[in-house]
Every structure is written in structure tokens, then in C-alpha cells.
Chain A
Amino acid sequence: MNCTDVAAILDEHALSRLSAADRCALDEHVTKCEPCALAWHAQSVLLALPVPAAPADLLDRVLRALSSRPAHAPRRARTRAVLVSALLAAGAALAAITAVKLYERANEQPASATSNSGGARESAQTSAASTQSSAPAAPTASRPDSAVAIDDVDTEYFMALRVPPDYPPDAIERKLEGDVTVEYTIDERGAVKNARAVRSTDPVFEASAIASVSQWKYLPRVRAGKRVAVDGVQTVMRFQLTMPPPPPVGAKRDDSVRQSEAESTAPSQDAKSAEDTSAAQRSAHPVDFATFERWMTNAWQRSAADDLRGAELVLDELRATYDLDDSQSNRVWTFYGYIYTRYADYGRAIDAYEKAVATKTAFWSEQWTSLASLYFARHQYDKALETLLTYKQRSSSGRISSEATAMIEKLRALGVTEDSVDGGPGPHVAESRER
């Protein structure tokens, strides 16, 4: 491997396609060759730099400008900023010497921590949930993708990016801890709208919680092949003053998410062992929190602008550049699943979701139901049910989301029940399924 080879890899965006041996050779060269290291770094930075989507009315303005030639179109005021300053916010949160723990609980997950909030409120989603109308005859037949119309596929919204809140200085002064339940809409692009606090232990936290949630980005829910908005999503954000060890490079926000999950639900062995392994697995090229979020921001922006290939490219490069930890892999593979679903490449979508749920941090009901939906759409009903049952088992409370329940009902109507498939996968079935 020499400089020319490195240049060629960069030129052709070939990083993600390298063999393991080539990848080693490349790493070795780059550690010794400063220009190549610089070139490599520059390329990663550029790839990760978010680019805003074109304004929706750009065409109109272009046409107006044409009509009013030769007068130059007036420069637009600076508006419509949609850039997420994930890095800025993350930097600020890390600078604050407080631990902000946040965990998201989609409305249907176990509500132990906030059950008195009326918190586990169902959104208007159940009515929209079952648009699949194909009820084909042979329930277990697996058919090629060509048999699946895009209309058949539903996937769930999924968090792509979270910006941690700032700890309100007032609260720090008063040594106050607490939590805020925020409710909001995820619009059809995946942006958060109308965030409001529905419950809080102290109003002092509300503004900060709302400000942070408003910057979060999701992969939107897909219903019958169309992206749709979701109302009534709730997240509990917990503010705790307990001082963690000073965040090392890449203070893992997801670690704290995991901790909160573990605390808020019954202490679960899964979560414990997940902590252990992910610490042990931290390897040669970890990616710090801010950098990871920046890549994800960029991928999200591209996919929100319907540049799916661009989003895929960003994820490919991200994966090739760094060794992702468990929860990062989970998020990245879910993102791939979404992209492939929208490509209507369901085989790859299923592979991607399988990889996502095979991670130990697959706590989110959304990725399980998306995977089951895909199997369902491909008429692999056994696999759909198996997925849902695995999810049920891994859910610490044994409760599952309303979408999952609805799908199990639908499968039952087709004659696919727990009895008809091997219903007893152990807790490690997800791992063993990884190919």
C-alpha cells in the first residue's frame, strides 16, 4: 500500500469495499505517512459536514428569477436554517460538569418511571397501523422481492440523532435533579415538531428539555410506502447531578442511555452484560460522540432530502472509518434498514434490521416491528412471528408495543400462532441469528 493506492481509495470512495487485509495495510500506511493521514482526515471531515436540503420553493424562485431577467434576483434573507448543530450542543453538554441522563421511551414501552403521568399514552398511531391488506393464501411461502409492492411495507420511526440537553444553570445552583416528560410530533421528514412538556418534577428543566428534543431527528415512520408523521411520541429526560468520571474522548451518551434503561426498568441482565462487552470491545478506531453524531446528522440530512444513495455512502464510510460500539452499530444498521426499505430492496433491509436487533442494545420496539413488517410483507410469516416473540422475550417487562401486538393478531388471523412456530427462542437467539 502506497500513497497512490490511498489516493485511489479516497478517489473512488472505496474504503467500505476494502478487504480486511487491504484495510490493515491501509491503516498501517496511514499511521506512518503524514500526508495520507491528513488527506484521509480531510475527506472524513468533508463527508461528515452536514449540507442543508435545498429550500422547498427553490424552483419557484428560480423561475421567478428567470421571468425578471436581467435583474438579479434579490438575495434572500437568511432563513430556513435547518442545520442541526449536534456537535455544538454536544460540546456544550459535555462542558457542563453534570451528567444528563436521558432515555427515550416510546409511548408504548414499560412506564415504570412515569406511570403516574398518564405517560404511556397511546398516540393516534394504532388506527393508521394496519394498512397492509394483502392477505395471501400460503402463509409460510417466501416470495421474491418482486412480489412485494412498495405499498405493502411499513416501517417504524426510529431515532437517528439525539442532542443532549444543557443542564439549566439554575438547577445546578440549587443542586436540583429531576425529569421531564416531553411529548412531540415526528413529522414526515423525521424532524421533531410541537415539543411540549407534559410533566416535570420542576419547571426549571422544561425549557432545556424541549430545546434539546426539538433538535432530535428521526427516520420517519413509513406507512404503505409513504412517510407519515407520528403524533404523541413521549420521551422522559432525566437530569441528574451525579458527577460521572470526566468524559473521556467520546463520552458515550448511549452508555448513559443504557444505564438509564437498566435503572428505570427492572435490573436486566442483558443491559448489564451489554455494558461489559461493549467496554471490552472498544477497539482500535473508536469514534467519539460528537463525531459520530456529526456523521449521523449528515446521513439524516441526505436521507431527508431523498438522497438515499448519499446517506448510504455516508454510513458506509462511517462504518469503514471507525469501529462502532454496540449501540452505534445498532443505530447505523437501523438506518441502513430504513434506506433499503425505501429503495424497496427488502432483502438487504431485512439483513440490516437483523444486524440491528442482533446488537445487545436493541431495546427499541421500533426496529423489531420494522423487521417483522418486512418479513410480513414478504409473506415470511413465521419469521415475522419469530421476530416479534424474540422482541417480547427481550423486553424486560414482557410487554410489547401496540404495533407488535396488532401484528401478532394479524398473524393469528392468518393461522400463524406461537404454536405453529418454535416459540421458545432463548434470550440469545438474536445473536445466533446473525449471519
Chain B
Amino acid sequence: MSQAEHAEFARLIAPHLDALFRAAYRLTGNRADAEDLVQDICVRAYANLETLEELERPKAWLMKIQYRVFVDAARRRGRSPLRATADDLDTTCASADPGLEDIAEGSLAERRILDAWALLDKEQRALLALHVEGYTLAELQSTTDLSTDVLKARLYRARVRLGKLLATERAATPLMESKA
């Protein structure tokens, strides 16, 4: 790969990295996996540099890759990528002196939400994650290749399911009860 290609790729990808990372964080629920996912997407995008150069709206294309990579990877591994989070957190907690940062990341309320989140299936997670990151239905449709009606129905079901999971989680941990 040439220096020039590298520079060109950097120029094209840089404006989208933040959005990719945010969506990746929503999908995976933790920073390390989110970074891995972003790197994965970039490797694929780089392999298709010519396509990327020609696209009018590269973000939609990148999102589509992200969606595919995430859903497929989850399928391949046969387990939720969020399990990795739990493992990571265990290691973190096992270290003698968890720094402030670790505590911050493991904030109980956020953990609780992420726990409920992890129980959603990956497609539900992906749909909600991208939607809450500000993607319109039209964009989601092109990302997922679902029909509008199916997409809407799945979004609604995913929300109801997450709402139920949150309600259960909440009941299970009265200490942190939030009465919002």
C-alpha cells in the first residue's frame, strides 16, 4: 500500500471516525470492543478504497459495513460480544487498585443499562443503536435492507423488549432505584 493511498484514506475516513466510534460503542457497550470494531470497518473500507472515493455519502456505506460486521461477527462467535465486556470488567475489578476511570466506566446505573442491553439480540441492538445515534428511518432502511414496515415493527419491538428488561433489572436492584 502506498503512502498516497494511506493519506487519501485518512482524509476520507477522518470525518466519520467519531460517528463510527459512537455507533460502535453503542453496539458493543465498551470502548475496547468499539475500537476493535472501528478498526475492523476501516480495514474493510480500505480494501474498497476505490468505492469509498466515489461515494457521495460515504457515511451510509460505512454504517452498512459496520452493521454487517457487527451482526455477522456476533453470529460467528455464537455469543454476544457483550460477554467480552463482562470478562473485561472482571479482569479490571480483579486488579488490585481499580482506578477512578474504571469505577467511572462501571458506574452502576450504566452497567445496569448495558446489562439489559446485552440481553437484546444483536439485530435489535444494532437497530436501536443506529437509530438513537440519529439515523433516519430511510438511512436505517438502506443499511439493513429491511422494508419500512418491518423496520418500524422491529424498532418498536426492540424498544418494548428493552423497556421490559430495564424494568426487571430495576426491580432486581432496588438500591439504585431510579424513579424517573
Contacts and interface: CB of A to CB of B under 8 A. Distances in A.
B109 interface: yes
Contact of A69 (B43, B100, B152): B43
Contact of A66 (B1, B110, B152): B1
B159 to A, nearest CB: 4
Interface string B104-120: 11011110010000000
A306 B19 CA distance: 11
A37 interface: yes
Contacts of A294: 109
A53 B162 contact: no
A55 interface: yes
Interface in B10-33: 10, 13-14, 17-18, 20-22, 25-26, 31-32
Nearest to A310: B134
A83 B110 contact: yes
A276 interface: no
B83 interface: no
B6 A66 contact: yes
A266 interface: no
Interface stretch (A74-82, A323-331, A344-352, A417-425): A74-82
B132 A7 contact: no
A426 interface: no
Interface in B71-120: 88, 92, 99-105, 107-110, 113
Contact of A290 (B133, B160, B161, B178): B178
A7 B35 contact: no
Interface residues of B, number: 58
A85 B26 contact: no
B113 A49 contact: yes
Nearest to A211: B100
Contacts of A66: 1, 6, 9, 42-43, 46
29 contacts: A7-B156, A11-B155, A12-B136, A38-B159, A38-B163, A39-B163, A45-B113, A46-B162, A51-B22, A52-B31, A53-B18, A62-B39, A65-B42, A66-B9, A66-B43, A67-B1, A67-B6, A78-B31, A78-B105, A79-B101, A83-B110, A85-B107, A87-B110, A88-B103, A88-B108, A91-B176, A250-B179, A288-B179, A291-B178
Task: Kindly list the 6 A-B residue pairs having the minimum CB-CB distance in the complex, ordered from nearest.
Answer: A38-B163, A81-B101, A54-B21, A85-B107, A39-B159, A42-B162
Interface of B: 1, 6, 9-10, 13-14, 17-18, 20-22, 25-26, 31-32, 35-36, 38-39, 42-43, 46, 88, 92, 99-105, 107-110, 113, 128, 131-134, 136-137, 152, 155-156, 159-164, 166-167, 176, 178-180
Interface of A: 3, 7-8, 10-13, 35, 37-47, 49-55, 58-59, 61-63, 65-67, 69, 73, 75-76, 78-85, 87-88, 91, 249-250, 287-288, 290-291, 294, 305-307, 309-310, 313
